[in-house]
Each structure stands twice: as structure tokens, then as C-alpha cells.
Amino acid sequence: MNLITKIAGREFESYTLNASVPRASTLDELKQIGQSDSAAIMMKSCTIKKRKGNPLPRIFKLPLGYFNSEGLPNLGYKTYLEFIPKLKKYNKPIIVSVAGFSVDEYKILVKAFQESEVDLIEINLSCPNIDNKTEPIAYNLKKTEEVLKEISYLGKKPIGLKLPPYPYYSIQQKIANLIKKYSVSFLSCVNTLGNSLIIDEIKERSVIKATRGFGGLSGQYIKPIALGNVRRFYELLKGKVSIMGMGGVKTGQDVFEFLLAGADAVQIGTAFVEEGVSCFQRINKELKSILRKKGYSSISKARGKLKIS
């Protein structure tokens, strides 16, 4: 059985790939992903200038995931542009993730990668860990449309949106309308759950220093929210826009649930950070076993087949 799937018309040899996490920052790390069973090479979200990120400590490990306020540490977009030709030899789709601090910055980033050999461009509109005063762009419909209006026609490479965990159907519906209006080709659902707080009751202090202790929650804690967002956008967009699910994907069973919800592929973050590239082979093997037991001959046969009780 193969796990071939498609994202924005690009063929992926399997259903799992890495999320844009710290282990996807350097050229060596990206080469390791290229040599692994990850279906694609997803780069760390990059900004115009190199960023060190937020003050330490900024990451805290939890039993079922992570709590972080990284603040977009990365090498800067020009360095990632230089990486692309060196990653083509792995014959996998290369996905760049970009994060701007203004409409003009998004234009610069998207234009640069439209002129590169990258395959897909993920627009990160949902990082919750920059400061405590501004909301991620994806929560603001006006700002989201301003970005889409300026970047949608800069080239022919497919663009997608990395979205936050929306709590309400009404905003999901409005975002879906913008996605259709500007021909967005794929979605990544969902980013970490921002404005969270973890307290060390013994020391009576927050577990991270950055952003006054507030950060983004990831891992299996947010899996039900991620599944809900994937399903909602699958229904709203009628399966016509590719969706990559993420949030709590640790086993083949988790992957199968995202498949039933309507995801075309899944990005793996926490398990990738903890296990390294071996997680892709393990999870793909577990998914194949589940599909066989369920009587599904391919990914497409099971996608979106969620039954409502």
C-alpha cells in the first residue's frame, strides 16, 4: 500500500512531513529531513532579518506536548534561499514558511521565494509569540485580506496559510471566504494555542521568561481543536483546498483521525522534536497497518469519511 497524496497539485510520496519547528532551521537539519521518510522538506518560518528569538527560557516540555514562546528564531530569508538548490537533490517538495511584520515584508518574502526553486510557500499569519500587545494577523480579517491582496499575484507557485486554532465557526467561515476569493491553494491547521500560561507552583513563577510568561501550547493538548479546524475548513471549502493538519500527531491513530476529518497530509511537530526523523517511518508504518485493517486501499478512500454519530 502506498500513502501517496497531493498538496496544491504537488505529489507527496507519503502522508506525513515535518512541521516548521526548531529542528528544521539549519542546512544540516533540513538535509536530515531530506534523507528521511518525511514526504517533504518544510523549512522553519523565516523573516526578513535573522532573529535570535525571545529570551531564555522560552520552551518548556510538558507530558503531552510543549509550551513555548520562541519568537520566530531563524537565519533570515536570504539564507534559506541559498539552501534551496542544495535540497533539490532529495527529489521532494520543498516548502518555505514565511513570517512578516508588515504587508510590505510579506511582499518581499513571497516575491523572493516565487522567484526561487521552492515548490510551495506557506504564509505564517498565526505566530502567537512575538509580544503581548498585537494579535496574530490571522485573527484580524482586515489585515489578513490586506496581506492576501498584495501577495496572491506575485507568481505562480502555490501559496498557503498557516492558521491559528480558531474557536468559532463564524470566523472560520469568513476566513474561508477570503481563501476562495484569493485562490489560496492550501492550509496548515493549526498553529499553537496562544496566550496560554503554565505556572511552577513550587517556585511560584511562570515556567518561561519570554512574553511575560505567556506562550503557545502544542502537542496532544490541542489535538481536538486541530481536528475541529481541519474538519470545518474541509466542509467550508468542500475539499477543493488542500489541508495539512497538525497538532498532537504522535501515532498512526492520530494521523488516521486527521485523515477522516479531511486532511490531505499531516505535519508532525512534537514527535519530530522528540524522536527526530525516525518518527516519519514509524508513523507511516502505523498508518498503513490501520488502513489495511479498516479495508482502505489508499489515502483518498478514507479522506473526509468521518461519520457523524
Q: Are 275 and 37 in contact (CB under 8 A)?
A: no
Report CA dihedral (173, 6, 33, 24) to the nearest 10 degrees. Answer: -20
Known catalytic residue at 289:
no
Known catalytic residue at 126:
yes
Q: Are 181 and 208 in contact (CB under 8 A)?
A: no
CA distances from 98 to 46, 109, 162, 263, 286 (A): 5, 7, 10, 22, 32
Task: For strands 186-189 and 159-163, give the pairing.
Answer: parallel
- Residue in 127, 188, 189, 242 annotated catalytic: 127
- Compute the distance between CA of residue 122 and CA of residue 124 in angstroms, rounded to an integer: 6
- Residue in 126, 185, 188, 206 annotated catalytic: 126
Could you list the active site residues?
126-127
